Amino acid sequence: MEANREQQSQASKRAIVLAGLAALTAGLCVLQVRTLASAQDTYQTQVTELATMRADAGAILTLRNKPRSAAMQTRPNQDVLAQVENALKTSAIDRSSWRDSIPQLPRRVAGTDYKEVTTRLYFEKLSLQQLAAFAQNLRQIDGTLTLSMINLSGRTYATPEYDVDVGVSYRVYAP
């Protein structure tokens, strides 16, 4: 009997040890699951941050490659006129339509550190489509040049063409 009790006592001790090991294993599993869940959250956060950083880097590269919108110094008027001629060629506008160009004095852009430098151009017999093509091509050829003013006159009912007075301008940083 005593041997029987001894066996029961050892069986009980084994059962308690096994129950303890099972509880310990279960506790470790719960901790592992929590650790995995935390690692997964961290991973997802890092993936999102990486995607944001890649998008930001792409935006920076785009801005780096974008032409500056303001020059650091006044450029010779011949440079502006050369870009105008290139835009005319690209727009398939006959050079004979361009009658004159008159550089204007630079003027301060109110409330800024910039001056606007304008050259007035005079054209005869341009259609609105030609004028739009010229404006678009000029901007593509030189991103710093814009049309700052357009005056149309001289259209008759017989022809859809205008005499055009255009201001081609760029800005100069001049604090």
- Quote the percentage of the chain above a pLDDT of 90: 45
- What are the beta bridge partners of residue 128? none
C-alpha to C-alpha distance for 24 and 129, rounded to whole angstroms: 82
Instruction: Say if CB 167 and CB 124 are below 8 A apart.
Output: no
C-alpha to C-alpha distance for 75 and 24, rounded to whole angstroms: 80
Of the candidates 92, 93, 119, 95, which has an alpha carbon nearest to the alpha carbon of residue 105?
A: 119
pLDDT tens readout for residues 13-48:
777 877 787 788 888 878 888 888 777 877 887 778
C-alpha to C-alpha distance for 121 and 167, rounded to whole angstroms: 6
**Position 165 pLDDT exceeds 90:** yes
Length of the chain: 175
Q: What are the residue ranges spanned by the domains of the chain?
A: 1-66, 70-173
Mean pLDDT of 101-115: 91
Higher pLDDT, 150 or 5: 150
70 confidence band (pLDDT: 50, 70, 90): low
Instruction: Say if CB 74 and CB 172 are below 8 A apart.
Output: yes
67 confidence band (pLDDT: 50, 70, 90): very low
Q: Centre a 10 Å sphere on the Cβ of residue 84 and count the other Cβ atoms it contains.
A: 21
Reported pTM = 0.59
Instruction: Say if CB 120 and CB 102 are below 8 A apart.
Output: yes
What pLDDT score does 61 carry?
60
The whole-chain average pLDDT of the chain stands at 84
CATH class held by domain 70-173: alpha beta
pLDDT tens readout for residues 77-96:
999 999 999 999 999 999 99
Of the candidates 127, 131, 135, which has an alpha carbon nearest to the alpha carbon of residue 155?
A: 127
